[in-house]
Amino acid sequence: APETRALEQERLLAVARSVWAWPADVRYCGTRSPDEFAAVWSAVVPAPTKARVRGPRIVVAKPAASRVLFTNRDMVQSQVRVYTADGILDPAAQVDYDEYDAYMGGSMSAVYFQEIREARALAYAAGGGYSQGHWAGDDNTVTAGLGCQADKTIEAATLLESLLRKPPMSEKRFAAARQTVIESYRTNPIHFRDIPDTVLRWEEQGIMTGDPRPARFARAQAYTQQDLERFANRFQAAPLTLTILGNRDRVPVEQLKALGALETVPLDALFPY
């Protein structure tokens, strides 16, 4: 392209060097003391001249009522996804996030896979769980999805919505999910070289008071099925967004209105290139 051919080496090098104008989070593992490392770093890297800027927080769409977004594409299968926002990231609720995620979609013994694919053979693949925000202030999202034959779209989408709103509770399934969470604490220690990245990640979440894992581990060990039910109940009346990519000639689109206000989204609105 003409723009590419017009680029000059010095201009590109200047752009690369400009990264040092921004404040940096520096992570170091080694034998030097913090003061020694700081002296070495400041001797070779210029002091930043720009203020730290954080990108916009992640905000999930919150429709007033449930809606269905259908996109037509000439295909044999249908791809169904459902989402709902669940407030901002709360580090104190980490164990709730983990337990719900493990129970609903953590493995092939979890709710979505077992109830949709194994018990009813409605989908080729099914899964979901809890997607928490990355930074303090970011929104969390409850998600679920499946891929199915086009003629099973309505039944599969209806079941997917039903499972998210009121998941079936099972002592055996809960025990497996709870054990998964507990073992994740036992078998994932923070190794020496991972400490700086881990501490930085906690700070990004707004945790400034030390290692949160001991308290989380203790809560995971004391977590009950009733705790999980209370957490899951918050989604019973939540407005959902269902997205369906499928063939309108194979999917009875009008029946989707039973799941929410129907809106047709053109394919080129999703992929404008």
Prediction pTM value: 0.86
High-pLDDT (> 90) share of the chain, %:
70
The arithmetic mean of pLDDT across residues 207-216, rounded, is 94
Which residue in 82, 59, 56 sits closest to 69, CA to CA? 82
Apex CA 173: angle with CA 134 and CA 142, to 5°?
30
Composition of the chain by helix, strand, coil, percent to 5 = 45, 15, 35
Highest mean pLDDT among 192-201, 240-249, 262-271: 240-249
Per-residue confidence band for 183, with pLDDT thresholds at 50, 70 and 90: very high
Q: Tell how strand 67-72 and strand 261-264 pair up.
A: parallel
High-pLDDT (> 70) share of the chain, %:
99
pLDDT digits (tens, 9 = 90+) for 58-84: 899 999 999 999 999 999 999 999 999
Which residue in 40, 49, 39 sits closest to 17, CA to CA? 49
Q: What span, in angstroms and rounded, lies between the C-alpha atoms of 64 and 67?
A: 9
Give the burial string for 6-44 (b: 16+ CB within 10 Å, else e): eeeeeeeeeeeeeeeeeeeeeeeeeeeeeeeeeeeeeee
- Residue 65 φ/ψ, nearest 5 degrees: -145, 165
What are 210-213's contacts with CB under 8 Å, separation 24+? 212/91, 212/94, 213/185
The secondary element (H helix, E strand) that includes residue 78 is strand 77-88
pLDDT score for 101: 96
Asked whether residue 39 carries a pLDDT value surpassing 70, the answer given is yes
The arithmetic mean of pLDDT across residues 211-222, rounded, is 96
Q: What span, in angstroms and rounded, lies between the C-alpha atoms of 265 and 244?
A: 10
How long a stretch of residues is the chain?
Answer: 273
